[in-house]
Amino acid sequence: MVPDLVGLTDIADIASVSRQNIRKLMLNHSNSFPLAVHQGSTSVWHLAPVLEWLDGRGYKLQPRLLETAQAARQVNLTKAVGKLGAVNPELLALVL
């Protein structure tokens, strides 16, 4: 199974490039590179949007990798929403 949340090293391994290459792409394309879920000494991204971004730039990715990453993200988001209970509709409108 492909993970949902990944760091730069994970992204680099999946894309078969160096961590430095991914970091350079992130910095040089900060206006379009997917936003990190968490930023700090170690930043974390959802893998699916990063793969979509890389795919749009011609990176060769394993077949079905994006599909699997999207499924992993959906499962994790569904589990997280299930733990919330009732969701405030006003807050939901802000994020959709």
Contact between residue 25 and residue 51 where contact means Cβ atoms under 8 Å apart: no
Task: Report the domain count for the chain.
Answer: 1
Question: Which phi-psi region, left, alpha or beta, contains residue 16 (left: φ > 0; alpha: ψ -120 to 50)?
Answer: left
Three-state secondary-structure class, residue 34? coil
Is-above-0.85 flag for pTM?
no
Question: pLDDT tens track of the chain, all 96 residues?
Answer: 568 999 999 999 999 999 999 999 999 999 999 999 999 888 999 999 999 999 999 998 888 998 999 999 998 888 887 777 777 778 877 876
Domain that holds residue 18: 5-95
